[in-house]
Structure formats: structure tokens, C-alpha cells
Amino acid sequence: MQLFHHYASELSEICSQVKPFPVTRARVAMRNETLAKDLGIDIAELETPALLSALFSNDGELQKNSIAQKYGGHQFGQWNPHLGDGRGLLLGEIKSPAGQFWDLHLKGAGPTPYSRHADGRAVLRSTIREYLASEALYALGIPSSRSLCLLTSEEPVQREQLERGAMMIRTCESHLRFGHFEFFHHSNQPEQLEALFAYSFKYHFPECLDSDSPHQAMFQTIVDNTALMIAKWQAYGFNHGVMNTDNMSIHGITFDYGPYAFLDDFIPEYVCNRSDHNGRYAFDQQPSIGLWNLNALAHAFTPFMQIEDIKTVLMSYEVTLLNEYQTLMKRRLGLYEQAFNEQKLAAEIDIVVSEWMDILKDETADFHQSFRVVSEHLLSIENQEYNNISDFFVNAERVKSWCESYRDIQQKLFDISGNNWAKTQSNMLAVNPKFILRNHLAQEAIAAAEDDDFSLCEALITVLSSPFDDHPEFARFAKPPADPEKGIALSCSS
């Protein structure tokens, strides 16, 4: 495994060299073999003896130039300059066979200069949750960091109670956050800020250097990618839970998983973080918080851009997000086809989509099951047999009326596109997951792993990696939770 150390060598003044600190009786419990292959990593290097040697021995390749990054961030709207990698280390960058560089980052590595008197550890519970969630989002087409491997241990770690310590190596394009740029701007370190921008252009936004205004092009890319990511969160019912600016990636990827949740019942104002007493990061607030965070980031661009240009870029956020969200929702309902011009039916399509979402909201219906039910019983709508769908709802007559309107608009679309019900059903089944990472399932897998049984984790990875397939042997994972298991909220220590 050949590592590069671009960040450590070129930005040495804004990071700290730190060696990972081993945990008691560590062993590799989960390995992402598909990801390892994509990165060109020999799976043998992720065996316990080889990995522990690479991480902790004096000549170990993964610890030679490990660093902790310095940054700040707006946490629940309040500026905090005292942040940084408090429990994670950038081990280096690896070059994939495709020629792209990827960060290898160790979570739970022990204390760093930015730990703020904390232990620098991660617990098994939180690492499992991140491992599962990152693969779940990736399979849904939502940009995310990904987990390469997870190490369990017998190290006791105190959180709300005593838990088992764990480590995880995760990968993404980089770990540069909004908070990196914010910190060096707000701390009045222009040379370091310029160095950070230069590094970003060189390794992550080289295409922007061809622009008349590279900083504006970079900011536009960040705004666009953030908008697209959050649109996907909203379309697939994902609540991040802690959208602080130090948890926001400049690449528009989901990372720093904490008390996240996929919706169970469709409750737009749902809050998955029980520490979020004011609902700042509620599910339906995520689009506006995304813009708030981009406004916070924009301050770091003011030395390089005119204010009017910054405003122009920020104004594009809402348009990009809404267009992507509407496209995704139409696609989930089989009402989107690039093969024809839908403008003449746009208003009717919007009404059908809006009414469907109102039904889900008014009935607090299960968000994921509802889309899957329509997909699986689409041919029943063709045959005007609406009970197969309406039986899942309380107000059956309202749903039947919706089915009739839906059938009418589909027939109009088919007349234009030449599409048909069977093809549309196939398309819908490919974008409406049968399996989703429910919090009660994650909790069940964690409980088993605490007893050294990772079979449930592996089973969940199987269905979450191909969530649109049937997997009859794991049918129970597709069922919505019972009422006591719905809407589980977790703390930031998750």
C-alpha cells in the first residue's frame, strides 16, 4: 500500500504530526473488500496482524506521517475556533488504479492537540453506525465518505456509559471542511488561508484554475455539490442531525456521521438528534441550513471575490437544490423521462407529486415503504385495482383518487414517450429501495457486535449495498419498525 503525504508535507504549518495510539487487543472485525479493490489495496493488508503492524509499529507505513488537521466551525450556529481532528488522524493519501487520490483517515486514533481534554477514542457503536450508513448512502447514489475497515477492541471507553473502544479507517476525496477555510479567515491568517486555497486548487479543483476567477469557480462548485447532496438527502429521507460547518465537506459528500437517521414515518419536522433541543437540524430544515453554512463559508472567499459575485453564486443554491429534488421525486414516482418534453404536462405532474407527499405527511405514513409499495404494485394501477396500494393507508378513498389521477397522467406521458407500465415499473424498482438503514436495525446489529457477533452487521451490509434487490433471505429487514421502535433519536456521542 503506497501512501502519499501531500497534505502533511505541503500544509505542515496548519496541522500537527501525531501517531495513532493502539487500543487493547484490537482486531479487524469488518473489511470493505469492494472498496479495497477499487482503491487497489490488497485485502491481505487489511488482515489484523498486517494492519496493526502498519498502524502501530515503529516502521509501520500507515503511521509514518500521520497528522491531525486544524480547523474551526459554527456549531449550532455559534463560532468555535477550538476545533480540529480530536480523535482522527489523516494517515495519508492513496492513489487508486483510476488515478484519483483518496484520503485514508483513522477514526478513534487517540488524543491529539485538538482533543480538548477528551480521550480521542471512538466507540464500537458509533463506528458501526458510520460504517453501515456510509455504505447505505453510497448505494443510494448519495455522495459519502466510505469505511474501509473497522477494528474492534477490549478497550473500555467512557461515554454515557462504559463502552467498547473501536477504530475505523474511512476514505473520501479529502477531509477538507468548511471549517478549515473559516478558521484561517476568522483567525486572520491570510498566508495560511492562501496556502489552503492553493492546495485545494492543485489537488481538488484543478479545473477551476482555467477560469477567469478560480475562487469563484471553486465556490460555485462547492455550492452546486452541496445543493445536490442535500437534495438527495431530502428525496431519500436522510436526516444528518449535526450540520455544523466543521461537519460539511467542500466536496459535497456526507461525512462525520453522528446521530443520523433515515425517516420511518414521514414527519418533515423530525429531529434525530436528541441534543438538538430547538430543532435546528430537523429533517425539513436541512436545505436552509445548507445555505446558512455556505454563507458562513463565503466569508473565507471575501479576500478573493467581490461581494456581489458571492451573492450571485449563493443565489444559485436554491435553484440547483429544488431542480434536483424535483427531478428525483418525479423519478421515484416514475414520472420523469428524458425522452420527451414534459413542459405541457408539468403542472399536472407537480400536482400529482405534491398530493402524494401530502398524503404521506397527513397520514404519517412510512416514507420508504410507501414509495416501494407504489413501485411493486404499479401494474395494479394500470388495471385500476387500487386496493393493493390503498390498503396501506387510513384514508383509502383519498389514495384511490390519487391513483386515478396518477394513472391518467401516466397514460398521457406514455402517449408522448412511447414508454409503458412494465418499463416504468422496472425503472421505479431501481430507484425506490426495498431496504433502508433503520435505526432499530442498526441498534440490533450493534447489540450483537458488542458480544462479538458481527453477522448481523454483515447481513445489513449485504442488503444495504444492493437495496433495490429482493434478498428474500433477509425479508425481515424490509419491514417497517413497530411503533415503539419508530423515530429513534440519538445523542451526539453516537
Give the catalytic positions in this structure: 246
Measured between alpha carbons, how far is 493 from 241 in angstroms, rounded to an integer? Answer: 12
Q: Do residues 274 and 236 touch, judged by C-beta distance below 8 A?
A: no
Neighbouring-strand partners of residue 168 = 107, 150
Q: How far is the first Cα of the chain from the last one, in angstroms, to the nearest whole number?
A: 31
Mention every residue, 6+ apart, whose C-beta is less than 8 A from residue 437.
Answer: 132, 133, 136, 262, 460, 464
DSSP state of 121: -
Residues, the chain:
494
Q: At what angle are helices 214-235 and 190-203 packed, to 10 degrees? A: 70
| Radius of gyration, alpha carbons of the chain | 23
Measured between alpha carbons, how far is 339 from 242 in angstroms, rounded to an integer? Answer: 39
Measured between alpha carbons, how far is 474 from 462 in angstroms, rounded to an integer? Answer: 9
Q: Do residues 106 and 66 touch, judged by C-beta distance below 8 A?
A: yes
3-state secondary structure of 291: helix
**β 261-262/238-239 pair status:** antiparallel
Measured between alpha carbons, how far is 296 from 178 in angstroms, rounded to an integer? Answer: 8
User: What is the Cα 115 distance to its own chain's centre?
Assistant: 24
Tell which residue, 146, 468, 472, has the closest CA to residue 331.
468
Lookup: cell for 470: 429482493
Tell which residue, 52, 38, 156, has the closest CA to residue 95.
38
How many Cβ atoms are within 10 Å of 154's Cβ, its own excluded? 12
Whole-angstrom CA distances from 431 to 262, 330, 427, 480 are 16, 11, 7, 18
Torsion of CA 459, 465, 469, 475, to 10 degrees: 20
Measured between alpha carbons, how far is 436 from 226 in angstroms, rounded to an integer? Answer: 23
Lookup: cell for 17: 504530526
Lookup: cell for 336: 420523469
Measured between alpha carbons, how far is 73 from 83 in angstroms, rounded to an integer? Answer: 7
Q: CB-hemisphere CA count at 13 Å for 420? A: 2
